[in-house]
Amino acid sequence: MVKINSNYLKLKAGYLFPEIGRRVRQFSETHPQAKIVRLGIGDVSQPLPQAVVKAGQQGFEDMLNSKTFHGYGPEQGYDFLREEIARQDYKSRGAPIDADEIFISDGSKCDTGNFQELFSVDSVIAIPDPVYPVYLDTNVMAGRTDVIDASGRYGKIVYLDSCEDQGFLPEIPDFAVDVIYLCFPNNPTGVVATHAYLKEWVDYALRHQALILFDAAYEAFITDPSLPRSIYEIDGARECAVEFRSFSKTAGFTGTRCAFTVVPKSLMGQDENGTPVSLHALWNRRQSTKFNGVSYPVQKAALACYSQEGKAQIKEIISYYQRNARTISTELKRLGYEVFGGEHAPYIWLKTPKGMSSWEFFDHLLNQAHVVGTPGSGFGKCGEGFFRLSALGHYVDVQEALQRLARL
């Protein structure tokens, strides 16, 4: 019989969302009349922008004609998209990123999950708590952790506590680590990083020759123009950071799939003899071997996100979600909840009332209000006692959920 990768057996049984699904299914079976409102999983509800669909349709039309047909594309993505990203997302904000440092992909989930393949198995990995679970689980699968302890934490991982008294910002360690995952605007807490805070991380990384993996999947939700949208707006980040971005939440691509990862050519790792090795070259090698690119029509569709028409339509969609977030935040505060996030991110992070645990509050909301959210403890130990509501749903559902919460 084939021997399996036993690191998979170290993974926490029952990943968060399947467990939520199980409880909701069980509740529906015993309460078939209940109309459940879901503010849990962070999928989007609004359709793709018109300009994006038109460009994608044109991309497929091109495939009809042998002169404009496209077969395998470059594994790194088409230049037309990479150049527009470099110009509009980076150079326009003073971030020195070139088109050939951008790798187009089919999602930030895969990229944030796959990037760790470039590191040795004994690299010391620092992960915030609470956190988007992909960073941790992929390192568990790769064998960088010991077994899980009674508190739900894995040996060998450096956990960066991001609790309420730290403003939900990961604490910077006073010792060296090799790799740090950061996510701003944050899933699940909804908090955002300032220049000053990111500068502290960049300085730390440069001091310790560490690498920051910066997940900016929600940058489109930043409302304050003075806040950094990219880590490359911080001096020195080209020497210590990789950035992940996605069209999923920005432009409704969760089902269409397009994202990108920025790997500056100045980023270096080292081999076992201490010889510097380009991370750009390694990621290029990895992608060329294991990935065959995003389809041409989808990249054409993504390109339309940068047209005047596309940008205006995306702004409207983001405003719709921001109104949801404002409505949830305002009403929950009025009802006496302690609420965080929601201003520069589509997530509202609330403190569970009366000292309930995250799962107790989940069951309470499901049973009493037929509303589904996400227990904070599913994102890590520091998420215990908190609860995430997503603003990415329909406004009518948000209103309905809030009316039911007011009646609790």
Name the strand (E) or helix (H) holding 141: helix 134-141
Sole binder of ligand PLP in the list 84, 89, 101, 215 (CB under 6 A): 215
Can residue 189 be called a binding residue for ligand PLP (CB under 6 A)? no
Q: Which is nearer to ligand PLP, 246 or 313 (CB)?
A: 246
Exactly one of 123, 145, 189, 248 binds ligand PLP (CB under 6 A); that residue is 248
Among the listed residues 44, 104, 180, 183, the single contact to ligand PLP using CB under 6 A = 183
Burial (CB count <10 Å: 0-12, 13-18, 19+), residue 101? buried
Closer residue to ligand PLP, CB minimum distance, 296 or 379: 379
Q: Which of 7, 28, 194, 254 binds ligand PLP (CB under 6 A)?
A: 254
- Please report whether residue 108 would count as binding ligand PLP according to CB under 6 A: yes
Write out the E strands in 247-363: 259-262, 268-270, 276-278, 339-341, 347-351
49 binds ligand PLP (CB under 6 A): no
- Based on CB atoms, which residue is closest to ligand PLP, 42 or 331? 42
H or E stretch including 311?
A: helix 308-334
Q: Does 51 engage in binding with ligand PLP (CB under 6 A)?
A: no
Which residue type, as a one-letter code, is found at position 118?
L
Task: Determine, following the binding rule CB under 6 A, whether residue 298 of this chain makes contact with ligand PLP.
Answer: no
DSSP letter for 382, please: G
Only segment of 21-29, 157-165, 246-254, 293-301 that touches ligand PLP (CB under 6 A): 246-254
| Residue 318 contacts residue 327 (beta carbons within 8 Å) | no
| Per rule CB under 6 A, count of chain residues that contact ligand PLP | 14
Give Cα separations from 346 to 123, 204, 329, 384, 403 (angstroms): 33, 29, 11, 20, 20
Binding flag, residue 345, ligand PLP (CB under 6 A): no
User: To the nearest whole angstrom, how small is the minimum distance from the Cβ of residue 255 to ligand PLP?
Assistant: 9
Task: Using CB under 6 A, list all residues that contact ligand PLP.
Answer: 42, 107-109, 112, 132, 183, 187, 215, 217, 246, 248, 254, 259
